[in-house]
Amino acid sequence: MDFTSTRSKKNGTSNSNDSDGRDSRAVVRRRPPTIAELLASTSSTLATIMFTWTIIRQYCPHDLRQYLHRYLNNFIDYIYPNPYVRIAIYEFVGERLNRSKAFAAVESYLSTKLSDDAKRLKAEVGDNKNNFSLNIDEYEKITDEYENAEFWWTLSKISGSAKKSTSLYPEPDRRYYQLKFHKKHRNLVTESYLKHVLKEGREIKVNRRQRKLYTNGTGNRWTIHRQSTMWSEVYFEHPANFDTIAMDPEKKQEIVEDLLTFRESKDYYARIGKAWKRGYLLYGPPGTGKSTMIAAMANLLNYDVYDLELTAVKDNTELRKLLIETTSKSIIVIEDIDCSLELTGQRKIKKEESSKDEEKVKEKEKLIKEHLKREEEEVKSRVTLSGLLNFIDGIWSACGGERLIVFTTNHVEKLDPALIRSGRMDKHIELSYCTFQAFKVLSKNYLNIETHELFEEIQDLIKGAKITPADVAENLMPKSRQEAAENSLRRLIRSLEELKRAAEIESTKEEKRAEKSKESPKSIAVLESVD
């Protein structure tokens, strides 16, 4: 028996049970977990986390949760520094009474950055109520590029139930836009990118808005969550434009160029130290298109219109408040300025020279004066000429920019020279009786014809006729669906002939009056010599 077998026997072991020499160091190999086991383990862990988080939210004080959340974020940032910066722009500011202008500008700006990859969108009826406007929905991300840098925008919200509130009513959700960018672009964001977003967003919002026509009235003084206003408004949908205005083409083009130059002169007005505004005086007989001209100006420039009724304004203080509430890109209109109380005086009743009953005329004048006196007693204070002048070009006129102030009148000679001087009414536009060139515009508008064999006859008649564009348009308008254009032209010719005959009769009467006035001194001299 050899030494090895002897030692094995002494130890009471057999060689066959330790053939590989590793009997005391056996290796146990564990099999990999199955998918079912992994899912069970993960589900158990998630359930534990969710249960723990529910307990924390229910029983842990709000301040403590905020404290833990803040320091947990700081700890994570310490372990793994985050290279990105986030900026939040909330929808409401202050006490939630005012919607943030920055939020609205960002919303308009991002509506133009929608890509085909965006899957969560929201559709709302636009301001013009004719189509939908698309924008990103909550938690959708938009990528924007600016000067070779990338920025990520997300619409998020803070749930009202997650905020601490002592109110009995549930807090509404608080929406905000979150801007995310790399920290190396911080200077770019603060110096130019945010300004770029605000500028572009405001321009987009203005171009998309439904323009309105305002008038000074009671407004929405008692509406909750809105600031009281002295203006009430309707949508402005007047179809007039300079292509359809009946006036001399050269004069029309001059007005258009003046308006477009004003709209693009913001830097020029700032450089010369003048408020960005311009005054227009429209004067001429009734029916010459003064109101239509204002509508065409608003449509050309895409401006709102504020129709200011001075007789409804209590005093100069209220007039200033009305001015402050007007917005930029607007036209402030005062029609028939010569009729405004305490400015140019009431229009006096002209006595009819041919009337024999003078007592009735005097009695009528007396009644009107008494009525005006009662009105003055009811309204103790009125707008003065000084207050209106300050409204036009005083210190308060610089509250806002890009505004036109338009006066209309039928009697320009009645206006105070200080009211219509340069600097207040910068451009005077006379809208007079219809000319042949204006007639051709109206025939194109109403009859869709540019030439006709009757045009020559109309051209001869319209030269000396005092007919307004409104009267010409009424004659050209078809009176039935089957009426031909020639019938409308002949109706206009008859009206022009009647006006010509009336003018000849009036001219004859004037000559007779002149002859009588020449004869009357002679008769007086004869009577004096007889005496």
pLDDT tens-digit map of 289-321: 999 999 999 999 999 999 998 888 888 888 888
Answer yes or no: are the C-beta atoms of 310 and 343 closer than 8 Å: yes
Concatenated DSSP letters of 466-484: ---HHHHHHHHS-SSTT--
Measured distance CA(531)–CA(526) in Å, rounded: 9
Is residue 432 within a helix (H) or strand (E), and if so which, with residue range?
none
Same structural domain, 224 and 306: yes
Same structural domain, 319 and 234: yes
Is residue 132 within a helix (H) or strand (E), and if so which, with residue range?
strand 132-136
Domain contains 481: yes
What the block records as the tokens of 1 is: 């028996």
327-340 pLDDT, tens per residue? 889 999 999 888 86
154-175 pLDDT, tens per residue? 888 877 654 555 555 556 678 8
Domain contains 360: no
Same structural domain, 153 and 284: no
Domain contains 125: yes
What the block records as the tokens of 173 is: 């959700």
Domain contains 7: no
Range(s) of the domain holding residue 186: 84-208
Give the mean pLDDT of the chain: 79
* pLDDT score recorded for residue 279: 93
Q: At what angle do helices 485-530 and 469-476 cross, to 10 degrees?
A: 140
Burial category of 214 from C-beta neighbours within 10 Å (exposed 0-12, middle 13-18, buried 19 and up): buried
Domain contains 37: no
Same structural domain, 509 and 497: yes
Instruction: Outline where 326-435 has alpha helix (H).
Output: 358-378, 385-393
Domain contains 356: no
Same structural domain, 398 and 506: no
Concatenated DSSP letters of 139-201: T-EEEEEETTEEEEEEEEEE-GGGS----SSPPPPEEEEEEEEEGGGHHHIIIIIHHHHHHHH
Average pLDDT over residues 332-353: 62
Show Cβ contacts of residue 148 under 8 Å, excluding neighbours closer than 6 positions: none
What the block records as the tokens of 78 is: 């310490």
Measured distance CA(59)–CA(64) in Å, rounded: 10
Q: How far is CA 128 from CA 104, 301, 528, in A?
A: 17, 17, 80
Same structural domain, 425 and 294: yes
pLDDT band, very low/low/confident/very high, at 323 (cuts 50, 70, 90)? confident
Same structural domain, 411 and 301: yes
Q: What CATH number did the domain enclosing 406 receive? A: 3.40.50.300
Answer yes or no: are the C-beta atoms of 288 and 473 closer than 8 Å: no
Measured distance CA(63)–CA(136) in Å, rounded: 33
State which amino acid sits at residue 215. Answer: T
Boundary residue ending a domain (208, 237, 270)? 208
98 beta partners? 93
108-162 pLDDT, tens per residue? 888 888 766 667 777 766 555 566 667 777 778 888 999 999 999 988 887 765 4
Same structural domain, 413 and 447: no
Answer yes or no: are the C-beta atoms of 153 and 178 closer than 8 Å: yes
Same structural domain, 290 and 316: yes
* pLDDT score recorded for residue 197: 93
Domain contains 347: no
pLDDT band, very low/low/confident/very high, at 206 (cuts 50, 70, 90)? confident
Measured distance CA(324)–CA(330) in Å, rounded: 12
Domain contains 152: yes
Same structural domain, 128 and 247: no
* pLDDT score recorded for residue 168: 53
Answer yes or no: are the C-beta atoms of 85 and 181 closer than 8 Å: yes
Same structural domain, 203 and 248: no
Using alpha carbons, select from 287, 209, 292 the residue that is nearest to residue 255: 292
209-266 pLDDT, tens per residue? 888 999 986 444 444 444 456 889 898 989 999 999 988 889 999 999 999 999 999 8
What the block records as the tokens of 30 is: 């564990």
The region of weakest confidence among 26-35, 82-91, 166-175, 338-347 is 338-347
Answer yes or no: are the C-beta atoms of 90 and 176 closer than 8 Å: yes
Boundary residue ending a domain (179, 208, 237)? 208
Boundary residue ending a domain (430, 463, 497)? 430
* pLDDT score recorded for residue 353: 45
Specify the 3-state DSSP secondary structure of 21: coil
Average pLDDT over residues 451-470: 90
Q: What is the pTM of this model?
A: 0.66
Measured distance CA(265)–CA(232) in Å, rounded: 30
Query: Number of structural domains, the chain?
Result: 4
Measured distance CA(242)–CA(177) in Å, rounded: 42
Answer yes or no: are the C-beta atoms of 405 and 389 closer than 8 Å: no
205 beta partners? none
Average pLDDT over residues 57-81: 73
Same structural domain, 240 and 255: yes
Q: At what angle do helices 455-462 and 485-530 cross, to 10 degrees?
A: 20
